[in-house]
Amino acid sequence: MAENKKGSTVIELKGVTKYYRLGDSVVKAVDGIDVKINRGDFVAIVGPSGSGKSTAMNMVGALDIATKGDIFLDGVNIEHLPESVLAQIRGKKIGFIFQTFNLVPTLTALENVMLPMMFQRVPLKERQARATQLLEEIGMGPRLNHLPRELSGGERQRVAIARALANDPEVILADEPTGNLDSKRGEEVVEMLKKLSREGKTIIMVTHDMEKARYADKVYRLKDGKIVNK
């Protein structure tokens, strides 16, 4: 993998296209986009519903593969890797934050943050220590043993952010991370993402909210699967 140097290219999309066939018609969800993202960048991908922004993010996150084109992560073309390797990349190099939080309802805040580390076979004591530290750093120390239903929306999103950081990934992908929050809590979450970017994490945030996008270093606007602000 490439040297971990802030400012170097960490993600590059070349001619990335994603087509879906619906009956006799073809839907071009993403239609030939070229993007280069440097380490430590905070990038926002904006556009209306159906513009292709979440599809693009899913391909960057190795959750989906392109119909054609190439996606490079640290100089490695992930479009040609087997699923077993992609799973390892998702677990170690990429952290995901979702609009609906996606916390396991039967696990406490602490256990939810520990979960990704378990899949990477991190020893139990290390998992507990790191999860506790992450939650304390974002002001969730008093809520470690609370279930998701006992937390507010803003608190649940904080837990989701801590979980995304559990394996110390290089890249954080946030899909509408403020969509289920009020404006005040939404601002707090975006400020948290900005802080992570300043600390060297690469942040890619999908949003339809231009107010939140203004926190980003660079904004890509998608319409009908194409970047329209180049």
CB-CB contact of 15 with 207 (8 Å): no
pLDDT above 60 for 2: no
Q: How far apart are CA 24 and CA 223, in angstroms?
A: 23
Which residues sit opposite 72 in a β-bridge?
12, 77
CATH of 41-64+81-227, one of 3.40.50.10490, 3.40.50.300, 3.30.420.280, 3.90.550.10: 3.40.50.300
pLDDT digit string (tens) for 160-184?
A: 999 999 999 999 999 999 988 888 8
pLDDT digit string (tens) for 139-157?
A: 999 999 999 999 999 999 9
Query: pTM for this structure?
Result: 0.88
pLDDT band at residue 91 under the 50/70/90 scheme: confident
Is 212 exposed, middle or buried (CB count within 10 Å of its CB: 0-12, 13-18, 19+)?
Answer: buried
pLDDT above 70 for 6: no
Q: How far apart are CA 137 and CA 132, in angstroms?
A: 9
Residue recorded with tokens 């339809």 = 208
Domain ranges of the chain: 41-64+81-227
**Cα angle 208-212-218, degrees, rounded to a multiple of 5:** 90
Give the length of the chain. 230
Q: What Cα–Cα distance (Å) separates residue 91 from each residue in 109, 115, 198, 201, 215?
A: 19, 11, 23, 16, 27
Residue recorded with tokens 């899949």 = 119
